[in-house]
């Protein structure tokens, strides 16, 4: 999964997330489960380029993964919200889905 640096920088600025020039795995390092609702709302209500959507989706999935390490998504509201966004453009998110479905701890 390769995310474009200019899209990472753009999303970082818009969501006020620190951005470092040579940061690897930005979405994992920047994940924040406490901001998942904010990230989802931003995705749904903001006009984004395809690259920005990919970056934000990678951040959303990494944040959701972090959340599941701590608690259970009892009513699956977050899961269903993320699934709906992913299903809206499977081609755009293909490599992100492949990365997370083959991810092993």
Please give the tally of structural domains in the chain: 1
Q: What span, in angstroms and rounded, lies between the C-alpha atoms of 41 and 81? A: 10
> The whole model's pTM is what?
0.90
Number of C-beta neighbours around residue 60 at 10 A: 24
Find the domain containing 19 and state its range. Answer: 5-101
- Would you call 32 helix, strand, or coil by DSSP? coil
Token couple for 94: 């293909």
What tens digit of pLDDT does each residue of 14-72 get? 999 998 877 788 899 999 999 999 999 999 999 999 999 999 999 999 999 999 988 88
Contact 39, 63 (CB under 8 A): yes
């Amino acid at each position: 999964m390769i995310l474009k640096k200019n899209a990472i920088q753009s999303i970082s600025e818009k969501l006020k997330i620190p951005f470092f020039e040579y940061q690897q795995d930005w979405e994992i390092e920047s994940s924040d489960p406490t901001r998942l609702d904010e990230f989802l709302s931003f995705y749904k209500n903001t006009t984004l380029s395809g690259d920005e959507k990919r970056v934000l989706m990678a951040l959303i999935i990494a944040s959701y993964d972090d959340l599941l390490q701590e608690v259970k998504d009892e009513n699956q509201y977050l899961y269903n919200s993320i699934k709906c966004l992913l299903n809206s453009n499977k081609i755009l998110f293909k490599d992100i889905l492949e990365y997370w479905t083959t991810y092993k701890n």
